[in-house]
Chains A and B, each alone.
Chain A
Amino acid sequence: EAQVTQNPRYLITVTGKKLTVTCSQNMNHEYMSWYRQDPGLGLRQIYYSMNVEVTDKGDVPEGYKVSRKEKRNFPLILESPSPNQTSLYFCATRGNALLDTGYTFGSGTRLTVV
């Protein structure tokens, strides 16, 4: 089954403690991205990657890092989380233009930073 898997689903952490949210896909998609969703602000893109070792900033990259060392994985790293990073996070993928099935989203990670 084609899917995007995020872990963990829920995470409560303290300010300043480094954390990583993982994202893995089994569809061999080149494009992967991270979003955060906040009430009243909609979906905002954090970072995206067009392929292995190619990453770019989205609209709200401050406080986040990503890496794309292999095609299937695109982890989101918060080096020093702060309470304003409390949010619902989504990973999304998309295939290439020859087999475009649109965007596929993970189930989300609810992060609370206290």
Chain B
Amino acid sequence: KQEVTQIPAALSVPEGENLVLNCSFTDSAIYNLQWFRQDPGKGLTSLLLIQSSQREQTSGRLNASLDKSSGRSTLYIAASQPGDSATYLCATSGGSYIPTFGRGTSLIVHP
């Protein structure tokens, strides 16, 4: 059974820092990997989707990489801002369409 782990569980940084959030998974036979952002009490907003054949995806200040062989994905946030404060979740999915979610990294960016 797939297991997804996100490290660290919580992170507090000053504004302007470049950040790396980690996501590891135990079964490399994934179809894709998706990163989400969740604000407190709100829904999950999709940030980036990486197909299994891709190595990375970029959107603005966000860059996500995928290394299937090592079972790892990283989300890189450049020049962090207070508005980036949220919980970031990763999820893998295989051919069954049923995703496996990590528990998330809670990020606080303070001015």
User: Which residue numbers of A lie inside 8 Å of B, CB to CB?
Assistant: 31, 33, 42-43, 45, 48, 50, 58, 88, 90, 92, 94, 97, 100-108, 110
Contact = CB atoms under 8 A, between A and B. Distances in A.
Contacts, number: 48
B101 interface: yes
Interface residues of B, number: 22
The main secondary structure of chain A at its interface with chain B is strand
A42 B41 contact: no
B42 A103 contact: no
Among B36, B43, B89, B104, chain A packs the most CB atoms within 10 A around the CB of B43
Contact of A103 (B34, B102, B103): B34
B46 A102 contact: yes
Contacts of B101: 42-43
Nearest to A10: B41
B34 A31 contact: no
A108 B43 contact: yes
A107 B34 contact: no
Contacts of B97: 31, 48, 50, 94
B42 A108 contact: yes
Contact of B32 (A33, A58, A102): A102
A106 B51 CA distance: 22
Contact of B104 (A42, A92, A106): A42
Contacts of A58: 98
Contact of B49 (A50, A90, A101): A101
B59 to A, nearest CB: 13
